[in-house]
A and B are shown apart, each in its own frame.
Chain A
Amino acid sequence: MKKAMKGNISLITGSVMVAITFSLLILSFIWTPHDPLEVTPDDSFAGISSKHFLGADKLGRDILSQIIVGSRVTLLVAALAVTIAMTLGVSAGITIAVASRKLQAPMVYAVNIALAFPAALLAIILAAVYGASTLTAVSAIGLATAAAVAQVTRRTAYGILASDYVLAAHACGASTWRIIRKHVMPNLRASLLIQASAVVSVSVLAESSLSYLGLGTPPPAPSWGRMLAGSQQYIFVNPLLAIWPGIAIVIVVLGFNLVGDGVREVFDPTLRRSDS
């Protein structure tokens, strides 16, 4: 009871944060206080005012507008990366789980090697070859997190495949494909939801770090990581510049982490009750 309640608190707080993020995204297409790229030298380092709610940067560009529009890159990268990671990771994880023992070992080995390349490292390699871009960031983050997803999916799928209800399905003459579709996938759902939200968090963190290092989406499209990189030099002229984008990142990451935790806490007890 207590656990479920706590899960709900995580879920509610997390959902609110995720909702804020998506509102920013939607807002970015409808309205921003200013053109985020509009340079107004008179407003250089403006503080909080009715003209610039969150202040302005060195070139007098409006911070709030940049943050609103910056949500696009963040969420675009996260959405693409999560699609790549879940598609590849889940299919690889399930394939490994249903493969014969002899085939399993090399595949597990490959996943373990892939796990030694975290998103940012892979992005650095790709950036060295192709030059940094949104595409290199997305591919790197997607591929790197796919390995982690494959790992977790494989373990969870193992458990499902060893269950009595899968044995019963075999006794009913079900094919492997049917077992994957009708038994493994539905029972993986909660785990996949948790993983997807974790992948989004990791992607957002990785994307902002890459942008900070100058290996993410190139200018002029505003990005939170790059805004922070730009703020570093002028931190004493306008410290707020180094605060707002950071808060935005934390809200997204914390939001998705909390949603994942909430789902885990809420779903786990029922899963345990009906599985064992």
Chain B
Amino acid sequence: MNQPLLEAINLSRTYKLAKGSAGKGKAFRHALVEMNLSINTGDRIGIVGESGSGKTTLVRLLLGLDTPTSGSVEFKGQTLISGKMPWLRKDVQIVFQDPRSSLDPRMKISEIIREPLVCLGIDEDHDARIDEVLDSVGLERAMRDRYPHELSGGQRQRVAIARALAPRPGVLIADEPVSALDVLVRDQILELIAQLTDKLGLTLILVSHDLSVIARLCNRVIVMKDGAVVESGNTREVFDRPAHEFTRALIGAIPRLPESL
């Protein structure tokens, strides 16, 4: 059997809550409970679930930005540890939810995109690469010398995508990449992600509240509730024959199913 690209094994994450909020003793939040997940090269996985179901927690663990309480994450068979892990970061990159907070307000756009190139020691002409990714996310090269606050929300998210793509990763994780954006630009950004995924042959992990977004971009879907997977499978199948009541409720919440289904 061939090895999965990215794999979560019995992954759990329990947060210790600030003392006092729940009265006496120590309080814990089990954000992720014994999660198993394997992602193969070329997969386009959508992760849905209500707010607080542990999606962001999972994403952080998959990126090695947080340490699991128990269990582990493996990338190409190598277990993630805390630290810089350039072997992981060169290949797995992330686009955060809110581009207003994920771009350093004191850095120029070019410096923001240069960051992974420098930190990961990417061996090519950085300036040329910056221009190249700016082109591919549809931003003018002249934006290089601007600061994030001089850009619109949609443009900022394009910068975040450009930063993620700069080191030529094979896996792109996007944690609700459009939920902080104006409704009008959401489609453009999703379109861009879809198009780049195709063009670059990326493995995509897309987190969203919005099932229609997942339906459009992903071939596999995972439904999460209270830190565990309640249902997973082929997107079309899950949508057509949701096995779990919770999934049905989620689907019922979509105003209108996309035509393509």
In the complex they form, do A and B come into direct contact, defined as C-beta atoms under 8 angstroms apart? yes
Which residues from chain A sit less than 8 Å from chain B, CB to CB?
163-165, 167-175, 178, 182-183, 186-187, 189, 270-271, 273-276
Does any Cβ of A come within 8 Å of B189's Cβ? no
CA distance A172 to B96 in the complex (A): 12
User: Which secondary structure characterizes the binding site on chain A?
Assistant: helix
Interface residues of B, count at CB 8 A: 30
Contact A173 B86 (CB under 8 A): yes
Q: Which of A165, A171, A178, A187 neighbours the largest number of chain B CB atoms within 10 Å of its CB?
A: A171
Contacting residue for B149 out of A175, A178, A182, A274, CB 8 A: A274
Contacting residue for A172 out of B89, B100, B101, CB 8 A: B89
Contact B101 A171 (CB under 8 A): no
Contacting residue for B120 out of A173, A182, A187, A270, CB 8 A: A173
CA distance A175 to B119 in the complex (A): 8
Contacting residue for B106 out of A167, A171, A187, CB 8 A: A187
B89 to chain A, nearest CB (A): 4
User: Can you list 8 pairs linking A and B with CB atoms under 8 Å apart?
Assistant: A167-B96, A169-B119, A171-B89, A173-B89, A173-B120, A175-B84, A187-B106, A273-B149
Residue of A nearest to B119 (CB): A173
Does any Cβ of A come within 8 Å of B148's Cβ? yes
Contact B106 A168 (CB under 8 A): no
- Write out the residue numbers on chain A whose beta carbons fall within 8 Å of the beta carbon of B84: 173, 175
Does any Cβ of A come within 8 Å of B27's Cβ? no
Contact B104 A170 (CB under 8 A): no
Contact B96 A164 (CB under 8 A): yes
- Write out the residue numbers on chain A whose beta carbons fall within 8 Å of the beta carbon of B103: 165, 168
A28 to chain B, nearest CB (A): 38
- Write out the residue numbers on chain B whose beta carbons fall within 8 Å of the beta carbon of A165: 101-105
Contacting residue for A178 out of B101, B105, B107, B119, CB 8 A: B119
Does any Cβ of A come within 8 Å of B163's Cβ? yes
Contact B65 A167 (CB under 8 A): yes
Which A-B residue pairs are the 4 nearest by beta carbons?
Answer: A274-B105, A186-B106, A172-B116, A164-B101
- Write out the residue numbers on chain A whose beta carbons fall within 8 Å of the beta carbon of B160: 168
A152 to chain B, nearest CB (A): 19
Residue of A nearest to B63 (CB): A171
CB-CB contacts below 8 Å: B86-123 with A: 86, 89-90, 93-94, 96, 98, 100-107, 111, 115-116, 119-120
Contact B115 A274 (CB under 8 A): no
Contact B163 A168 (CB under 8 A): yes
Contacting residue for B163 out of A167, A172, A274, A276, CB 8 A: A172
- Write out the residue numbers on chain A whose beta carbons fall within 8 Å of the beta carbon of B257: none
- Write out the residue numbers on chain B whose beta carbons fall within 8 Å of the beta carbon of A172: 89, 115-116, 119-120, 163, 167
Residue of A nearest to B115 (CB): A172
Contact A187 B115 (CB under 8 A): no
Residue of B nearest to A175 (CB): B84
B208 to chain A, nearest CB (A): 18
Residue of B nearest to A273 (CB): B149
- Write out the residue numbers on chain A whose beta carbons fall within 8 Å of the beta carbon of B149: 270, 273-274
Residue of B nearest to A163 (CB): B101
- Write out the residue numbers on chain A whose beta carbons fall within 8 Å of the beta carbon of B254: none
> Besides A172-B89, A173-B116, A182-B104, 11 other CB < 8 A contacts?
A164-B98, A164-B102, A171-B93, A172-B116, A172-B119, A172-B163, A172-B167, A173-B84, A183-B107, A273-B149, A274-B105
Contact A173 B85 (CB under 8 A): yes
Residue of B nearest to A189 (CB): B106
Residue of B nearest to A160 (CB): B104
Q: Which of A165, A169, A183 neighbours the largest number of chain B CB atoms within 10 Å of its CB?
A: A165
B60 to chain A, nearest CB (A): 8
Contact B94 A168 (CB under 8 A): yes
CA distance A182 to B89 in the complex (A): 19
Contact A183 B65 (CB under 8 A): no
Given A171-B93, A171-B94, A175-B84: A183 and B104 interface contact (C-beta under 8 Å): yes
CA distance A168 to B105 in the complex (A): 13
CA distance A187 to B147 in the complex (A): 13
Q: Which of B90, B96, B102 neighbours the largest number of chain A CB atoms within 10 Å of its CB?
A: B102
CA distance A167 to B101 in the complex (A): 10
Residue of A nearest to B60 (CB): A167
CA distance A186 to B160 in the complex (A): 20
CA distance A169 to B93 in the complex (A): 11
CB-CB contacts below 8 Å: B57-98 with A: 63, 65, 84-86, 89-90, 93-94, 96, 98
